[in-house]
Amino acid sequence: MAESGPSKKEFADLINQVLGRNVMNEQVMDRLLQNARESYQRQGIDGIFDLVRQVTQAPFSNKEMKTMMDTILDSSSPGQALDRLGGQEWIPEGKARELKRHLEPDKKKKRDRRKRP
């Protein structure tokens, strides 16, 4: 069975850990996802970009956000995506490394679990 990725709680915890303060929980994540769905239905991908800008105050144009999205989608892993984004200076290199550590801390644990009988 393929892994489906982190749960909403795990993702919210990751966001809080990276930001160093509690700004996200499952209820906030649900509202954010609902707003994203509605924005996409009304305006397509530009609606999503508008929502991201509103939530993050990111100073990027829709064209820049589309390029970032393509960079992430073309990556083979979250770590590679962060390396690429850091290389483009969209995310400060130090923040990209920090995010990568939070996203890929269990690789060794997963390998160890597979080796057990």
Q: Mean pLDDT across the stretch 41-67?
A: 87
Q: What is the pLDDT of residues 72-116, one digit of tens each?
A: 888 887 777 777 776 666 666 676 677 677 666 555 555 555 555
Which domain does 99 fall in, by range? 60-109
User: Are residues 53 and 65 located together in one domain of the fold?
Assistant: no
Question: Number of structural domains, the chain?
Answer: 2
User: Are residues 50 and 82 located together in one domain of the fold?
Assistant: no
Q: What is the pLDDT of residues 51-63, one digit of tens each?
A: 888 887 777 888 8
User: Are residues 89 and 64 located together in one domain of the fold?
Assistant: yes
In contact, 29 and 11? CB cutoff 8 Å: yes
The 3-state DSSP class for residue 90 equals coil
| Residue owning tokens 């996200």 | 24
Local confidence band at 22 (pLDDT 50, 70, 90 cut-offs)? confident
State the chain's mean pLDDT as an integer.
Answer: 77
Say if 104 falls within a structural domain: yes
In this prediction the pTM is 0.57
